[in-house]
Structure 1
Amino acid sequence: MKYSGIIFDFNGTLFFDSDKHEEAWRIFSKKLRGNSLNEEEVEKVMHGRTNKSLIEYLLGSSIDDEKLFTLGEEKEQIYREMCIKDKANFKLAPGVIEFLDYLKKKQIPFTIATASGKTNLLFYMETLNLNKWFDLDKIVFDDGSFLGKPEPDIYLKAAAKIGIKPEDCIVVEDAVSGIESAYRANIGKIIAIGPKDKHENLKKLKGVDCVISDFKEFDRNILDINN
């Protein structure tokens, strides 16, 4: 079967920054509750989740929008400073630029569905030149209007944004919660992405069709190309 559109997760997928988010959340967790995130929390609670869900988890209580914005921005500032300081690795993942150029040339609909908030999204748009490929109006990000991953809402919304039925879309994801979200959204093909040492675990997740290390390994033959 061939597929008509692609939805990309961003963090850990188009941009390999999981190490920075993990470290920023560890630092922030220690400040909020006195101890860092452990490895199980990083895997099951952090990756793919919204700032609201994670901050409320760390505090052990719900928070209002004003407090969420203040605390969320405090954590994201730590993260953004890490990105800027690490100039050698502050770039899109291997094979991404060539692949996005190819999709644009072939007029394959594609977009991003990310748990990141608008401040970080605009940071990426400016610093990583995402405007070259992505229409900001079609990117789905955490604006507080829908349930975050692992609920299916984000991928259902992203598919609607590009005018493609979920079952005709490919999703590329790195996080357990994101893969579950895509599966629950009835996405046609789910491609997991991650380092080689994580491939076996990713393959075991429900809904995963294949696993790649980077976009140089993406099989373009599964795309429905008419030109």
Structure 2
Amino acid sequence: MTENYHTWQSSYLGKTFEMLVFGDAGYPLILFPTSMGRYYEGKDRGLIDAVAWFVENNRVKIYCPDGIDSLSWYNTGIHPAERAHNHALYDQLLLNELLPRIEAETGHSRIAVAGCSFGGYHAANFAFRHPEKVAYLFSMSGLFDIRSRTEGHYDDNIYFNNPMDYMPDNAHPDLWKMGIVLGAAERDVTRGQNEQFSGILNNKSIQHWLDVRPDMVHDWPVWRQMLPHYLSLLKH
């Protein structure tokens, strides 16, 4: 399949940003890396190979942006307020630097997002913050509560990047138009959060699929199983 490496100077981060893109055409999917993961993680871990058919047949074009967890939520050397601020800059990079490129290349103004583990957090948070831009969310063993990374500190940046907190009051109409899958393994450390978050969506009558895979754990084999299944649900 076609693989292209892109880099640019991000005005939000003030540094060079890197990304891999797989495919020539198709519905655009942003695939986020796991905690502290890099832009090449999906390729190295076999996740791209697992969905090769969709890429090679121009069903999807996959954008794998770099992560900045080492500058944000996982940087214990800075105050939690600065961690949240840096993540907010990453959100602006995605919204204002990456999405215009995707629309120019694919013609789609709404996209799909996906991620595994902490990448599932990134996918879910971006989708729920910007539902007018996201048509599909595929979270695989994702997290929905960021407070374990904030050492008790709380501010607006944390609230507005913590889906477990802001989603009960989120009334954006496009949330009810989004295709949402919350995937988890039966013996998944994030299963409880997925079930809790599914309850929040149910309380808002937001349709979604809580997909709990039997006899599986929180690891790459279940994610390589999930993603091809979820991509088969795309209707574009």
Output the TM-score relative to the length of structure 2. Answer: 0.32
As a proportion of its length, which structure holds more helix? Answer: 1
User: TM-score scaled by structure 1?
Assistant: 0.33
**Which structure shows the bigger proportion of residues in strand conformation?**
2
More relative contact order in 1 or in 2 (CA 8 Å, sep 6+)?
1
